Amino acid sequence: MRSSFAFGIVIIGLLFSGTSCSPVYYTPTVAISPGLEEKDDMILMGSMIASGSGGLNLELSYSPLNNIGVLLRKTELYKEYTSFNTNTTTGVIIRENRRIKHSNFDVGVGWYKYFFEAIHLNAYATGGRGFFKDDIFRGSFLKIGIHPSIIFDFNRFDVGLHSSFLKLNYSNLHYDFNFREESQFAYLTANNKHSIREFFLSSRFKVNRSFLDFQIGFSDNLSNPSFRQDKVSVSIGLVLDLDKLFRKGLLKNK
């Protein structure tokens, strides 16, 4: 267990240290698959995401009815990159280090079901809004998606296969800057709608009454494969089942 945790930290540290050579307007984060098991389950997950300078994801999910789940998710990401532009007066190439901040908020509702006590199926539909802010340039996008998953439970750990099918629509662009002599306002105006599919592989390891969650994800833009976005995401997270931890765990110990 310790070696798995250390390996995850090393991989994320290596990815955090990278700097992109272009601005990024979308990045994959963490699979939408809370792991609810029964009515009144409440799960809190916090994840560190490796993408550029990195980020954090917080997700709270709850099951108000058997086989039905709802969730709220907030993600904060930072992406550093290096910009090269030519001074139109002197002809000198100017190198500039820049950073884009991404903030995403999603809500969702879905269905889950256990089969043979070892196979967990779930599917969620989500809607949300994302914001990005460069030193000068900023904007937002609407995001809707569906997220089917299958998880194989091996008692002390599980392995999950997850997918997402997303629609993005960029709008509310403000100000502008040039990247490689190209207006980014014009770039996103011309590339404002996208269809994206994503695949994640996850593994959760039980530690006392919590889980360590490791994920790697891949994002494929079906509308524009060369769109300025991240293709890969790696994360490590802590998952707490609040219902079991407090109601069934702490109260039982009193």
In 3D space, the residue among 214, 222, 223, 217 whose CA is nearest the CA of residue 199 turns out to be: 217
Dump pLDDT digits (tens) for 49-96: 986 568 999 999 999 999 999 999 999 998 877 666 555 556 556 666
Domains by residue range for the chain, with CATH: 2-253 (2.40.128)
Q: Could you give the C-alpha distances from 8 to 14, 23, 137, 200, 217, in angstroms and in order? A: 10, 26, 34, 16, 14
Q: How far is CA 11 from CA 26, 159, 231, in A?
A: 21, 19, 16
* Number of Cβ within a 10 Å radius of residue 253: 6
Q: Which residues, including other chains, have CB under 8 Å from residue 205's CB and lie 6 or more apart?
A: 1, 4, 156, 157, 211, 212, 214
HSE value, Cβ hemisphere, 13 Å, CA-based, for 55: 25
Look up the pTM and report it. Answer: 0.84
Taking only the tens place, the pLDDT of each residue in 132-190 is 998 889 999 999 999 999 999 988 899 999 999 999 999 999 998 888 778 999 999 99
Please list, in sequence order, all residues whose beta carbon lies within 8 angstroms of the beta carbon of residue 14, skipping any fewer than 6 positions away: none
Question: Which band of pLDDT confidence, cut at 50, 70 and 90, is reported for residue 244?
Answer: confident
- What pLDDT, in 10s, does the model give residues 204-219? 998 877 899 999 999 9
Report how far residue 208's alpha carbon sits from residue 150's, in angstroms, rounded to the nearest whole number. 24
Span 188-198, mean pLDDT?
96
Residue type, 90: T
Q: Pick the closest to residue 215 from 17, 24, 71, 29 (CA basis).
A: 29
Contact 28, 219 (CB under 8 A): yes
Tokens coding 133: 């802010």
Name the β-bridge partners of 213: 204, 237
Q: What is the C-alpha to C-alpha distance for residues 203 and 40, in angstroms, rounded to an integer?
A: 24
- With a CB cutoff of 8 Å and minimum separation 6, the contacts of 2 are none
